[in-house]
Amino acid sequence: MRFWVLIALLAQALPVAAQQAAPEIESIRKEDLRADLFYLAGDGFRGRLTNTAENQLAAEFILARFERLGLEPAGPGGSYFQPYNLMTATLGAENRLVASTGDGVELRAAVGQSMYPHRFSASGRTGGSVVFAAFGITEPRVGYDDYRGEQIKGNVVLVLDHEPGERDPNSPFDGVVTAQASSPLEKALAAQANGAVGILFVSDVHNHPGVASFEAEARNYWPEEPPGHDHRDPAPDPGPQRGGAG
């Protein structure tokens, strides 16, 4: 799918001395800013979801502001819009997770009840022994690596959510700020780089007691209608933009 973002360049760059007020600064009024904010954030725009008529209307409104300010379009073909591709994921019907214990007991996890796949998961089938790898983080910048040895290769890695010391201001990662290396995608990439054929995430119950309902969490992660995308017919390509509304 192709969508658009608005881009523009300043028509002129005017040198301004440090003591001199910015040109036209008196035209920026609190009342106007408030009116625009409340208009775009209003219920009538229904959240301005991607690929909806409301999102297109908001883009046209901003486009009109660009034109009124005298900004030159910087998109292809003299347009204020820059096309881009939006990738979305849907939950397949054949997702299964089966685990066998050493004494022959088989455990089956039901999708939406005790497991769900991540959106970045590939479509396919795999299997192997399960190897626990703590938080599954590799972060050379702080000398931290949960992957040591060769036991990961060809197997499925089991890791905890989040990161160690996440509530410690002196954590070697980023203090109490969530480290990028702790994101599920980064952990999956680290597991892949170490030869794992799959990755399982489990809750860090020592620091996160868990949600009241796993089923509700699964429904929130895989809603029937993706929250950032409307399944109505996409808005038409606006093409090269016109002058006009002010």
Look up the CATH number of the domain holding residue 109.
3.50.30
Instruction: Kindly state whether residue 131 falls inside one of the protein's structural domains.
Output: yes
Instruction: Kindly state whether residue 243 falls inside one of the protein's structural domains.
Output: no
Sign of CA dihedral 152, 153, 154, 160: positive
One domain, residues 121 and 210: yes
Number of structural domains found in the chain: 2
For residue 17, with 0-12 CB atoms within 10 Å meaning exposed, 13-18 middle and 19 or more buried, which class applies? exposed
One domain, residues 101 and 217: yes
Q: Which helix (H) or strand (E) covers residue 220, if one does?
A: helix 214-221
One domain, residues 69 and 156: no
One domain, residues 105 and 65: no
At residue 25's C-alpha, the angle toward residues 22 and 29, to 5°, is 160
One domain, residues 162 and 58: no
Q: Which helix (H) or strand (E) covers residue 190, if one does?
A: helix 184-193
One domain, residues 69 and 6: yes
Which distant-in-sequence residues (6+ apart) come within 8 Å of 174 by Cβ?
A: none
Q: Strand 156-160's sheet: what is its strand order? A: 130-132, 156-160, 198-202
One domain, residues 48 and 151: no
* pTM listed for this prediction: 0.64
One domain, residues 148 and 32: no
One domain, residues 37 and 126: no
Give CA 85 to chain center in angstroms. 15
Rounded to a whole number of angstroms, the distance between the first and last alpha carbons of the chain is 30
Give the structural domain span for 119.
97-221
Instruction: Kindly state whether residue 53 falls inside one of the protein's structural domains.
Output: yes
pLDDT tens track, the chain, 246 positions: 555 666 665 444 445 445 677 777 888 899 999 999 999 999 999 888 888 899 999 999 999 999 988 899 999 999 999 988 887 788 888 899 999 987 889 999 999 999 999 999 888 899 999 999 999 999 999 999 999 878 899 999 999 999 999 889 999 888 899 999 999 999 999 999 999 999 999 988 888 876 678 898 898 889 877 655 544 444 444 444 443 332
